[in-house]
Amino acid sequence: MEGANAGVSSRVWTVPNVLSFLRLALVPVFLWLIIVGQDALALLVLVFSSVTDFLDGYLARRLRQVSRLGQLLDPAADRLYIFAALIGLCWREVIPWWLFVVIVARDVMLAVLGVILANHGFGPLPVHHLGKVATFCLFWALPLLMLGEAFEPLAPYSLPLGWAFALWGAFLYWWAGIVYVRETARVIRLPADDSGPASDTLDGKEVDGA
């Protein structure tokens, strides 16, 4: 039993997973910096997080330490940074609260879909390319808006671009959400395969929602 526990522990505390935990630990710091208006420092934290995100993916493949935990932590960290930026910028009235509600409502819907899939014996759906593009847009929109707040000379350029990314990201986020609803409706009509993996993450696929 002790050997089994040691094996599980060693799989959890791999270098890629430690980097992912570090990214998660910096989310409250990132949020606090935005709320107090330290956008330049918040951007530095975000850059550091992006570098560690690249490193943990690279090391996971290089060291053959790809794990289900890591596949769940990465998209969770991305969403938490997006939510933190949204909350902080909404708190300071840089962006309206409706944008936060639109984005969070879609993720709540995805969580409900996950429960429905689980009740029918299926794991989370693989990420659709629209979901990836939407996340990419949002992940660029919020730093661009912060950049305009941190450096006033850049505001005429970064703010319009940031808003363009934000609005397109929100639109694509919901478009992808509708795709997930249709796919869930299709999947739950299929018989659950108890002999296969309970989740797509076990097949090495990235999943949307944590």
pLDDT tens-digit profile of 95-147? Answer: 899 999 999 999 899 989 989 988 888 877 777 788 889 888 988 898 899 99
**CA 182 remoteness from chain centre:** 22
CA gap 140, 142 in Å, rounded? 6
Q: Is 193 helix (H, G, I), strand (E, B) or coil?
A: coil
Q: Tens digit of pLDDT for each residue in 162-198?
A: 999 999 999 999 999 999 999 999 988 876 554 444 4
CA distances 43 to 9, 38, 149, 150, Å, are 33, 9, 11, 9
CA gap 50, 33 in Å, rounded? 17
pLDDT at 196: 43
Q: Tens digit of pLDDT for each residue in 17-74?
A: 788 888 999 999 999 999 998 999 999 998 998 888 888 777 777 777 666 666 677 7
Which whole number is the average pLDDT over 83-103? 91
pLDDT at 11: 60
pLDDT at 69: 67
Residues 6+ away with beta carbon under 8 Å from 119: none
pLDDT at 3: 47
User: Which tokens belong to 12?
Assistant: 């959890």
User: Which tokens belong to 43?
Assistant: 């951007």
Radius of gyration of the chain (CA): 19
Residues 6+ away with beta carbon under 8 Å from 87: 31, 34, 100
Instruction: Supply the pTM of this predicted model.
Output: 0.73
